[in-house]
Structure 1
Amino acid sequence: MSRIRARLDVVGVALVALTLTASPLAAADPAPSAAPSATPSAAPPVTVEEARLDRAVPQEILRRSGFDAVAPEFTRALAGARSYGQAERAVVRHGSGLWNRAVDRAQGRGPAAGDLSRDDDRPLYWARLGMTRELRQWQPEFGLPDAARARLLDRLERGSRGQDSMNLPAGKGIKRMVMTGFDPFTLDRDIRISNPSGATALALDGTWIRTADGPARIETAVFPVRWTDFAAGTVERTLRGQLPKADLFTTVSQGRVGRIDIERFNGAWRGGFGDNENISRTELVPVGDPASQPQWTGTTLPYKAITAASTGRFPVYDNTTVTEIPAGGTTPVVRPDGPTPGSTARAGGGGDYLSNEIAYRATLLRDRLGLNIPGGHVHTPVLQFGAGNTTEITDPEFVRNRLDIIAQVRSIIAVATESSA
Structure 2
Amino acid sequence: MTPPIRKAGWLLTAAVTGVALVTAATPTLGHSAAPATGCYDRAVPITYEETRIETPALPGGDRVPYKLVELGGFTGFVERLNADLCSTRSAQAADRLLRERGAELWRTAVERAQGKRWMGSIERYDDRPLYWARLMGTRDLRQWRPAFGLSDQARASLLKTFEYASRGISSTSFPRDKKSIRVLVSGFDPYQLNGEIRRSNPSGASSLQLDGQVYQVGDRTVHIQSVMLPVTWSGFNAGYVEDAFGPHLTPKSPERADLIMTISQGLRGTMNIEQWAGAWRGGSPDNNNEGTPEVVPQVTTWPQPTPNPEFIQTTLPYQQMIAAGTTPWPVKLNPGICEWTGNTRPDPAKVSCHDNGPSPDAQAQSGGGGNYLSNESMYRSNRLRLALGATSLPGGHLHISALVYPKDPLVLIDQAFASDRAQTIEQTVALVKAAGAAIAGGRKG
TM superposition score category, shorter chain reference = 0.7 to 0.9
The structure showing larger relative contact order (alpha-carbon pairs under 8 Å, at least 6 residues apart) is 1
1:416 is matched with 435
**Which deviations, in whole Å up to 9, do the C-alpha atoms of 1:39-96 show, x marking residues without a partner?**
xx99841111111112211111111111122221001111111111111111111111
Unaligned runs of 5+ in 1: 1-40
1:298 is matched with 313
| Structure-2 separation of matches of 1:170 and 1:217 | 11
| Structure-2 separation of matches of 1:59 and 1:140 | 25
Structure 2 counterpart of 1:49, which letter? E
Superposed CA RMSD: 1.7
Is residue 49 from structure 1 mapped to residue 69 from structure 2 by the alignment? no
For 1:215-230, what aligned pairs fall within 5 Å after superposition?
215-230=221-236
1:15 is matched with none
Residue 326 of structure 1 deviates from its aligned partner by: 2.1
1:308 is matched with 323
Structure 2 counterpart of 1:69, which letter? G
Q: Contact 2:222/2:437 (CA < 8 Å) preserved in 1?
A: no
TM-score (norm 2): 0.82
Structure 1 counterpart of 2:336, which letter? T
Match 1:187 to one of 180, 193, 197: 193
SS in 2 for 1:253: strand
| Structure-2 separation of matches of 1:398 and 1:367 | 39
Is residue 151 from structure 1 mapped to residue 162 from structure 2 by the alignment? no
**Which deviations, in whole Å up to 9, do the C-alpha atoms of 1:134-180 show, x marking residues without a partner?**
11111111121111111101101101000011011111222110010
Q: Contact 1:264/1:298 (CA < 8 Å) preserved in 2?
A: yes
| Structure-2 separation of matches of 1:197 and 1:401 | 13
1:246 is matched with 257
Structure 1 counterpart of 2:160, which letter? D
Structure 2 counterpart of 1:101, which letter? T
| Structure-2 separation of matches of 1:382 and 1:181 | 13
Match 2:269 to one of 239, 255, 258: 258
1:317 is matched with 332
1:7 is matched with none
SS in 2 for 1:362: helix
| Structure-2 separation of matches of 1:116 and 1:412 | 26
Q: Contact 2:305/2:386 (CA < 8 Å) preserved in 1?
A: no
Residue 189 of structure 1 deviates from its aligned partner by: 1.1
SS in 2 for 1:64: helix
SS in 2 for 1:306: helix
**Matched pairs, number:** 379
Structure 1 runs of 4+ off > 6 angstroms?
A: none
For 1:362-373, what aligned pairs fall within 5 Å after superposition?
362-371=381-390, 372-373=392-393
Structure 2 counterpart of 1:313, which letter? P
Is residue 382 from structure 1 mapped to residue 402 from structure 2 by the alignment? yes
For 1:120-199, what aligned pairs fall within 5 Å after superposition?
120-199=126-205
Structure 2 counterpart of 1:47, which letter? T
Q: Contact 2:336/2:353 (CA < 8 Å) preserved in 1?
A: yes
SS in 2 for 1:404: helix
| Structure-2 separation of matches of 1:314 and 1:409 | 10
2:34 is matched with none
| Structure-1 separation of matches of 2:173 and 2:182 | 10
1:61 is matched with 68
**Which deviations, in whole Å up to 9, do the C-alpha atoms of 1:202-225 show, x marking residues without a partner?**
111111123345321100000100
Structure 2 counterpart of 1:285, which letter? V
Unaligned runs of 5+ in 2: 1-40, 56-62, 251-255
| Structure-1 separation of matches of 2:197 and 2:237 | 26
SS in 1 for 2:72: coil
Residue 368 of structure 1 deviates from its aligned partner by: 0.9
Q: Contact 2:305/2:383 (CA < 8 Å) preserved in 1?
A: no
| Structure-2 separation of matches of 1:339 and 1:267 | 10
Residue 338 of structure 1 deviates from its aligned partner by: 2.1
SS in 1 for 2:247: coil
TM-score (norm 1): 0.87
| Structure-2 separation of matches of 1:211 and 1:227 | 38
Q: Percent identity?
A: 41
Residue 255 of structure 1 deviates from its aligned partner by: 0.3
| Structure-1 separation of matches of 2:420 and 2:393 | 31
